[in-house]
Amino acid sequence: MNNVSLLKVGARALRGALLLSGAMLFAMPQAMAGDPVKGGKIYNQQCKKCHGGSGKSTFPGVADFSRGEGLMIADHELLQKIRDGRGMMPAFRGILKDNDIFDVITYLRKLRR
């Protein structure tokens, strides 16, 4: 093998590695995303009585998730809010695991119509 073909082989290997890491970057967010089906079950058990089946709250003045209200923030900020609670909203720290809360957040984001 001469130097030129060696270079070609190297370039091809590099391109392969770049494609692979690119594909992994695409695959990762999906692997980390919450499970909306599990989230929906938890929502129905823990949240529905106040936030309604469709995300339209029964409390006046509370964010309407079916209109995307209150959801224009990052997942980790929502996690914080749900862990801490506020006012009439109970804190879910110790009741739900972070993973469960992420599942619920994934579900909340699907309530928008």
Residue 33 CB, nearest approach to ligand HEC (Å): 16
CA 2 – CA 45 distance, rounded (Å): 68
Listed in sequence order, the DSSP H helices in the chain are 3-32, 36-46, 48-51, 75-84, 98-110
**Is 90 near ligand HEC (CB under 6 A)?**
yes
Q: Give whichever of 22 and 90 is closer to ligand HEC, judged by the CB atom.
A: 90
Task: List binders of ligand HEC among 25-84 (CB under 6 A).
Answer: 46-47, 49-51, 59, 62-63, 70, 78, 81-82
Alpha-carbon dihedral 38, 42, 48, 52, rounded to 10 degrees: -20
Nearer CB in complex with ligand HEC: 29/60: 60
